[in-house]
């Protein structure tokens, strides 16, 4: 599975890259801001996109809105990374059509479990026996 990780924080990118490559066997492309993320998204398909909400120049939410307008949001599942877990923020993200979200600080085992499920769904979809990736309902 080829994953785009876009976060302006080098430490977060490092944690995500290691987790995705070492624990889930994914190939990872990294970028540090929204402009680079848009360039990557338009130049190659990704099986999953992990986007930080707060980035310089173009935010993760703006990227999702651009993808939605271009009709590429459903083809490239997006998991948002946020430090803001307020209900209205999460609700807005889900309304935009993202696949799921992760709240910072990242909890490794919970994140591996969540991304592992997305990877399994991706593999099932590729085999033609699965359904589209859907947002997971988080219990409060």
Q: How far apart are CA 120 and CA 13, in angstroms?
A: 22
- Helix extents (H) in the chain: 10-18, 34-43, 60-70, 87-96, 108-126
Strands 78-82 and 2-6: unpaired
Q: Which residue has the tokens 């490794």?
A: 108
- Edge-first strand listing for the sheet containing 27-31: 27-31, 2-6, 48-52, 78-82, 100-103
Residues 94/80, Cβ–Cβ less than 8 Å: no
Q: Would you give per-residue pLDDT tens digits along the chain (140 residues)?
A: 999 999 999 999 999 999 999 999 999 999 999 999 999 999 988 999 999 999 988 999 999 999 888 877 777 889 999 888 788 888 888 888 898 888 888 888 888 888 888 888 888 888 875 444 444 444 43
């Amino acid at each position: 599975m080829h994953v785009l990780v876009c976060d302006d924080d080098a430490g977060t990118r490092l944690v995500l890259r290691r987790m995705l490559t070492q624990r889930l066997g994914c190939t990872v492309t990294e970028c540090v801001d929204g402009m680079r993320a848009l360039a990557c998204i338009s130049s190659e398909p990704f099986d999953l996109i992990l986007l930080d909400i707060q980035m310089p120049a173009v935010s993760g939410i703006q990227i999702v809105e651009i993808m939605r307008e271009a009709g590429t949001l459903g083809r490239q599942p997006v998991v948002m990374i946020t430090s803001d877990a307020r209900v209205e923020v999460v609700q807005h993200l889900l309304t935009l059509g993202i696949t799921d979200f992760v709240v910072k600080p990242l909890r490794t085992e919970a994140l591996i479990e969540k991304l592992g499920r997305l990877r399994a769904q991706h593999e099932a979809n590729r085999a033609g026996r699965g359904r589209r990736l859907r947002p997971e309902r988080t219990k409060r």
